[in-house]
Chains A and B, each alone.
Chain A
């Protein structure tokens, strides 16, 4: 009973054993982190264009709190302080992209602290976290400040918009009042799609502009920092299932295009579900991971209490990632046995 559960005498291990993907050195990690942050820049700029000064403040506070938390916790744990590797910066930026522009500024601060300290460093720091830090930060503040986190403002396109009008996101409108209400606001389907594509709608900072996110994603794919294995099955599953079950008039009447462009799907699929550390590393497992994310997203959007399911879907699949890796790796050996058992 007195034996420690995890005996780990080495405090400063000389030999680091880690689970793949193996990042070869600090420089590569830093390069990836800063490139991904750069790829988010168009979307961040679009959010500033649409939501103005409040968006700038949310981004700045989120970044500052992330970097400060990282530095503080690394100093306390007597580890080298690694602000320059960009990982805390990226977490802060991703968190900001997941917050509404009108969130009071303590929300990004609390979210960053939870993301960096609890989700990342308690679990051993960069490369060991089980969950996507930015998403845990987001989920934590969503549950803690439910009212503030579900109030969105309409895009104003003015830099100092003070009295921005609060309004519901398209997904909330669809869930609570149906497609007819959405068309009443956006007039035609074409106009609705166009606004979704450009980002002229209420929502979290980085959820809004599909085109800006796709630009960044295309850049990352070109650089081979991310592959199709997670995002494409993710988005395709959402589209397919939304089309099949999303309509009021029965099967196959749902609006797939609307579902694929709204909420945090594009941001989540390309920038968060593709995380090396919290997703599976086996290719086949990545496809399953993507499909699972998509299915859970649609399940939550259509049946759940929350209007948007991308965040919870990715977090839930994060839980399953180690299991998927484990199952898919030993597939070759497991096949015959599994068949034998069935018969």
Chain B
């Protein structure tokens, strides 16, 4: 099986076809919560990328030892473990960022996307493809967060990654919660429009949780 795995497809799928934020609309909370700045969005994305890769890897390794009857509790436990590790590392090394978004880092544990990839992909595939799948999904997540972060930070603070660009703050509302929701809605609508116009897609987000 390992020979027939197409890594390109997995990566493309994670970033475009099943982008966790814009296409699957899973785990939306942090997408709005931490994207008032590019840096926060990026670090959150890195945290998710790490957790997803490790969780998928662990689940794949243990897939023959986990009894199907207790599979969900086991997955939850594995996820919680890797989230705790991420949380500890972030708290020790990224102090300023952690002050802003520590809660959301801890809440990665409740992300539907992590559990669903463990269940749908890692429990049926070998170690390497599983880790690549986790990383690809995490990368899709990271890119979505960075995209939103660029949009919001540029409009809201006139800066990118904390470096001032405009020298003023054009639309303060964009860094507030309401602005986050607007940004998310407008961005999704715009991507749907692009999809319909240029890629012949249905242009409708599926929604779910």
Asked if chains A and B come from one complex, the reply is yes
B172-A143 in contact (CB<8A): yes
**Given A118-B182, A144-B171, A1 and B208 contact (CB-CB distance below 8 Å):** yes
Chain A neighbourhood of B178, CB < 8 A: 143
CA distance A3 to B205 in the complex (A): 9
B interface, how many residues as a size bin? 10 to 19
A20, CB-defined interface residue at 8 Å: no
A5-B173 in contact (CB<8A): no
B202-A4 in contact (CB<8A): yes
A140, CB-defined interface residue at 8 Å: yes
Chain A neighbourhood of B171, CB < 8 A: 110, 144
Chain B neighbourhood of A1, CB < 8 A: 24, 206, 208
What 1/0 flags go to B157-176 for Cβ under 8 Å of A? Answer: 00000000000000111001
A75, CB-defined interface residue at 8 Å: no
A145, CB-defined interface residue at 8 Å: yes
B207, CB-defined interface residue at 8 Å: yes
Q: Please, which residue of chain B has its CB at the minimum distance from the CB of A110?
A: B171
- B130 CB to closest chain A CB (Å) equals 21
- B189 CB to closest chain A CB (Å) equals 8
B103, CB-defined interface residue at 8 Å: no
- A83 CB to closest chain B CB (Å) equals 24
B173-A144 in contact (CB<8A): yes
- A41 CB to closest chain B CB (Å) equals 32
What 1/0 flags go to A138-177 for Cβ under 8 Å of B? Answer: 0010011110000000000000000000000000000000
Q: Please, which residue of chain A has its CB at the minimum distance from the CB of B24?
A: A1
Q: Please, which residue of chain A has its CB at the minimum distance from the CB of B155?
A: A144
CA distance A124 to B206 in the complex (A): 20
**Given A143-B172, A144-B172, A4 and B204 contact (CB-CB distance below 8 Å):** yes
- A151 CB to closest chain B CB (Å) equals 15
B176-A5 in contact (CB<8A): no
- A244 CB to closest chain B CB (Å) equals 32
B176-A143 in contact (CB<8A): yes
Chain B neighbourhood of A337, CB < 8 A: none
- B166 CB to closest chain A CB (Å) equals 14
A143-B173 in contact (CB<8A): yes
A25, CB-defined interface residue at 8 Å: no
- A109 CB to closest chain B CB (Å) equals 13
- A295 CB to closest chain B CB (Å) equals 23
- A142 CB to closest chain B CB (Å) equals 9
A5-B172 in contact (CB<8A): no
Q: Identify A140's interface contact among B173, B202, B204, B207, CB under 8 A.
A: B173
Chain B neighbourhood of A184, CB < 8 A: none
CA distance A118 to B183 in the complex (A): 12
CA distance A143 to B177 in the complex (A): 11
- A307 CB to closest chain B CB (Å) equals 19
What 1/0 flags go to B170-195 for Cβ under 8 Å of A? Answer: 01110010100010000001000000
A5-B204 in contact (CB<8A): yes
- A78 CB to closest chain B CB (Å) equals 13
A2, CB-defined interface residue at 8 Å: yes
B206-A4 in contact (CB<8A): yes
CA distance A122 to B186 in the complex (A): 10
Q: Identify B206's interface contact among A5, A122, A140, A145, CB under 8 A.
A: A5
Chain B neighbourhood of A4, CB < 8 A: 202, 204-206
Task: Name the interface residues of B31-46: CB closer than 8 Å to any CB of A.
Answer: none
- B175 CB to closest chain A CB (Å) equals 10
Chain B neighbourhood of A145, CB < 8 A: 172
Q: Please, which residue of chain A has its CB at the minimum distance from the CB of B208?
A: A1
A5-B205 in contact (CB<8A): yes
- A211 CB to closest chain B CB (Å) equals 35
Chain A neighbourhood of B204, CB < 8 A: 4-5
- B81 CB to closest chain A CB (Å) equals 28
B182-A5 in contact (CB<8A): no
A3-B206 in contact (CB<8A): yes
CA distance A122 to B176 in the complex (A): 21
CA distance A1 to B26 in the complex (A): 11
A146-B205 in contact (CB<8A): no
Interface centre among B173, B176, B206 (most CB of A within 10 A): B173
What are some 16 contacts across the A-B interface (CB < 8 A)?
Answer: A1-B24, A1-B208, A2-B206, A4-B202, A4-B206, A5-B205, A5-B206, A5-B207, A122-B189, A140-B173, A143-B172, A143-B173, A143-B176, A143-B178, A144-B171, A144-B173
Beyond A3-B206, A143-B176, A146-B172: 11 further Cβ-contacts under 8 Å?
Answer: A1-B208, A2-B206, A4-B202, A4-B204, A4-B205, A4-B206, A5-B204, A5-B207, A110-B171, A140-B173, A143-B178
